[in-house]
């Protein structure tokens, strides 16, 4: 009675601790594109159901490998053959050895007669020694281990007799069978402490254990999604660890996140690869529905989210760094800023139209941003206390904190332009109760946009949003003699200098107010008087 085990699991089906997995290996050349050494999908504990679902997942995996091979060919100019061989010789050796030892253990438990057979075929052992040494012909290899090769599903053209690949696999199986029979013989003598002695098998086992340890590290982050990453980032920001992102920014991030996850059909952050980035980028570019800038922004957002995840994991999720570091981004040509700026005619029409509005935000926010260069979301949360006077000069305090933010995460106090005073803004403020000047919450920005499209510029699809349209126009007006530092401060731009945070006294505010007096009135196109 020969002590052997016949493997009955289909190709690419793996059993581990009573559960089944679809498993397809990834060639070393394709691993940078896939990000894994193998593709694996859990199929549950039921063998029948696992077999039914196996073919679908294998087909999906092979499609991923095919796309990765195409990307590899584009990048290197070299084609790579996708083999159906499930594992390399070293892994085959370990698997066959463990199968033999496991079967022997199960058989001894199941039937007392098994351990009574008590013999090992010495002729087979001698041939296995010759096989390990490479002294057998291909035909002789097939005679002694052909059945094992078939059970291990080694039957593809890449490992056919007559090839170097076949002999490498055959020698590996000989090592496994020799070592397996050695353990069986030791157990027949009552020694159950035997361990592999062949250097190749020892090295292969050590390599597999190292890979399993690395895979276990990946599994630590198996439940990490971008939703979790964003939530954690917000929690840290609330504690003062890093800058908080505005709701508008987070909404933009979530849109890009959804688009990417929907395309990838996978929410696991830890498994994102360079190939994912390339495929998504090419898909968006080929679709022709989005501008290159929008695609560039979406890719940048996903890279930002991956960086957050890596930082939160203490650089353990992506220990080699940004998986998309080598991702070529779409080239974005900067357009003419005039295309994003209201003309004087458009600006005047807009401001004059606001005089018919009954909603406070529609009436005053366009005037404020037109004469301060502020962004809409910096003005919508203004409170009555944010408008104050110093020695005859009125100011608007654009704050940060308590749910309010700016692009530079710094507050500023902007002089109220004389045109805004003449229009009656200060009287409006004085007549309001304490609290917010423009009720409506965080959706007020969107309401203003809709009002502009429906009422101010109906049937116009080429109009820039007010953030850009008025902000750029106001910055152009600052060329009328306003100093560079004052212009940066008024519009809330950073110069990159530490001096941005210096001062802030009433004296500086008065001097900035004097600078604001140089800025012309948009409506009347008047030239301001000289300031001594």
Q: Closest Cα to residue 368, out of 386, 356, 391?
A: 386
Helix H, strand E, coil C: the string for 216-239 is HHHHHCCCCCHHHHHHHHHHHHHC
Burial label, 371 (beta-carbon count in 10 A; 0-12, 13-18, 19+): buried
Same-domain status, 122 and 140? yes
As given in the structure block, the two tokens for residue 383 are: 């409170």
Are 491 and 475 in contact by the 8 Å Cβ rule? The answer is yes
Residue 318 falls inside a structural domain = no
Using CA of residue 463, residue 468, residue 474, residue 476, what is the dihedral sign? negative
Residue 530 lies in a domain: no
Three-state secondary structure readout of 271-324? HCCHHHHHHHHHHHHHHCCCCHHHHHHHHHHHHHHHHHHHHHCCCCCCCCCCCC
Q: Are residues 6 and 114 in the same domain?
A: no
- Does any domain span residue 528? no
* pLDDT confidence of residue 243: 79
Domain final position from 82, 114, 146:
82
Tell me if 172 sits within 8 A of 178, measured CB to CB: no
Do 211 and 244 belong to one domain?
Answer: no
For the domain that residue 440 is a member of, what is the CATH number? 1.10.443.10
Look at residue 7 in the predicted model and tell me its pLDDT. Answer: 42
**Model pLDDT, residue 333:** 76
> How many structural domains are present in the chain?
4
Q: Both tokens of residue 136?
A: 């057998």
Residues 144 and 263 in one domain: no
Going residue by residue through the chain (532 aa), what tens digit of pLDDT does each one get?
344 433 457 778 888 877 889 888 888 888 888 888 889 999 888 777 787 677 778 778 887 888 888 888 888 878 776 654 445 788 889 989 998 999 999 989 988 888 777 667 888 999 999 999 999 999 999 999 888 877 765 545 456 788 888 898 899 999 999 999 999 999 988 899 999 999 999 999 998 887 666 656 556 787 899 999 999 999 998 888 887 787 778 889 999 999 999 999 888 898 898 989 999 999 999 998 999 999 999 999 999 999 999 999 999 888 888 999 999 999 987 765 556 688 888 889 899 999 999 999 999 999 999 888 888 888 999 999 999 999 999 999 998 877 777 766 788 899 999 999 999 999 999 999 999 999 877 778 888 888 988 898 888 877 776 667 788 788 888 887 888 888 888 888 765 554 555 446 889 899 999 999 888 888 774 545 454 4
Q: Are 390 and 509 in contact (CB under 8 A)?
A: yes
Q: Quick one: pLDDT at residue 420?
A: 94
- Asked whether residue 463 falls in the same domain as residue 346, the answer is yes
Do 343 and 437 belong to one domain?
Answer: yes
Query: Which residues on adjacent β-strands are paired with residue 15?
Result: 20
Exposure string over 39-48, b if 16+ CB within 10 A, otherwise e? bbbebeeeee
Clarify whether residues 458 and 511 are in a common domain: yes
Separation CA 49–CA 463 (nearest Å): 58
* Same-domain pairing of 46 and 140: no
- Choosing from 56, 82, 108, the residue where a domain stops is 82
Instruction: Let me know whether 63 and 101 are in one domain.
Output: no
Range(s) of the domain holding residue 118:
87-220
Whether residue 424 sits in one domain with residue 284: no
Which of 64, 82, 100 represents a domain boundary (last residue)? 82
Give the number of other CB atoms < 10 A from CB of residue 495: 11
pLDDT reported for residue 266: 87
Sheet holding 13-16, edge to edge: 13-16, 19-25, 38-44
In a domain, residue 521? The reply is: no
Residues 512 and 426 reside in one and the same domain: yes
In a domain, 522, yes or no: no
Q: Is the full-model pTM beyond 0.75?
A: no
The answer to whether residue 384 sits within a structural domain is: yes
What DSSP line would sit under 415-427, residue for residue? EPPHHHHHHTHHH
Name which of 330, 329, 303 is nearest 318 in CA terms.
303
Query: Does 389 lie in the same domain as 485?
Result: yes
**Does some domain include residue 405?**
yes
Residue 327 forms part of a structural domain = no
Query: Which of 208, 187, 46, 14 lies closest to 106 in space, CA to CA?
Result: 187
SS3 state at 345: helix
């Amino acid at each position: 009675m020969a002590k052997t085990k016949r493997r009955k699991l289909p190709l690419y089906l793996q059993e581990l601790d009573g559960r089944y997995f679809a498993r397809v290996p990834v060639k070393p050349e394709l691993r940078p594109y896939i990000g894994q050494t193998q593709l694996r999908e859990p199929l549950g504990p039921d063998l029948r159901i696992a077999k039914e679902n196996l073919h679908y997942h294998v087909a999906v995996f092979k499609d991923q490998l095919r796309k990765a091979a195409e990307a590899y060919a584009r990048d290197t100019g070299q084609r790579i053959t996708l083999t159906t061989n499930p594992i390399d010789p070293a892994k085959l050796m370990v698997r066959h050895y463990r199968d033999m030892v496991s079967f022997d253990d199960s058989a001894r438990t199941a039937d007392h007669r098994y351990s009574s057979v008590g013999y090992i075929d010495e002729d087979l052992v001698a041939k296995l020694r010759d096989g390990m040494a490479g002294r057998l012909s291909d035909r002789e290899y097939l005679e002694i281990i052909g059945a094992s090769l078939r059970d291990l599903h080694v039957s593809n053209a890449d490992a056919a007799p007559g090839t170097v690949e076949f002999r490498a696999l055959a020698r590996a199986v000989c090592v496994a069978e020799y070592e397996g029979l050695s353990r069986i013989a030791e157990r027949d003598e009552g020694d159950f402490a035997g361990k592999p002695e062949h250097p190749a098998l020892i090295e292969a086992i050590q390599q597999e254990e190292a890979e399993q340890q690395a895979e276990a590290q990946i599994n630590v982050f198996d439940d990490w999604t971008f939703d979790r990453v964003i939530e954690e980032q917000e929690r840290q920001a609330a504690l003062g660890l890093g800058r908080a992102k505005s709701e508008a920014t987070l909404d933009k991030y979530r849109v890009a996140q959804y688009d990417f996850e929907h395309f990838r059909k996978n929410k696991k952050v830890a498994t994102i690869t360079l190939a994912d980035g390339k495929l998504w980028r090419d898909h968006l570019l080929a679709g022709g529905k989005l501008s290159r800038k929008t695609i560039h922004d979406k890719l940048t957002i996903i890279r930002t989210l991956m960086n957050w995840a890596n930082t939160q994991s203490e650089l353990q999720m992506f220990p080699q760094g940004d998986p998309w570091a080598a991702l070529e981004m779409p080239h974005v040509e900067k357009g003419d800023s005039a295309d994003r700026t209201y003309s004087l005619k458009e600006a005047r029409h807009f401001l004059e139209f606001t005089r018919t509005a009954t909603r406070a935000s529609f009436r005053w926010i366009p005037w404020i941003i037109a004469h301060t260069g502020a962004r809409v979301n910096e003005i919508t949360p203004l409170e009555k206390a944010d408008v104050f006077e110093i020695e005859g000069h009125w100011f608007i305090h654009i704050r940060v904190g308590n749910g309010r933010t700016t692009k530079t995460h710094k507050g500023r106090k902007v002089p109220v332009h004389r045109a805004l005073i003449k229009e009656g803004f200060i009287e409006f403020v004085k007549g309001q109760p304490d609290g917010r000047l423009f009720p409506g919450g965080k959706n007020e920005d969107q309401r203003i946009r809709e009002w502009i499209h429906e009422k101010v510029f109906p049937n116009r699809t080429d109009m820039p949003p007010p953030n850009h349209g008025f902000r750029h126009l106001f910055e152009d007006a600052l060329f009328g003699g306003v100093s560079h530092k004052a212009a940066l401060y008024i519009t809330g731009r950073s110069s990159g200098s530490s001096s941005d945070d210096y001062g802030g006294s009433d004296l500086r505010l008065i001097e900035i107010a004097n600078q604001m007096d140089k800025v012309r009135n948009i409506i009347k196109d008047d030239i301001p008087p000289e300031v001594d």
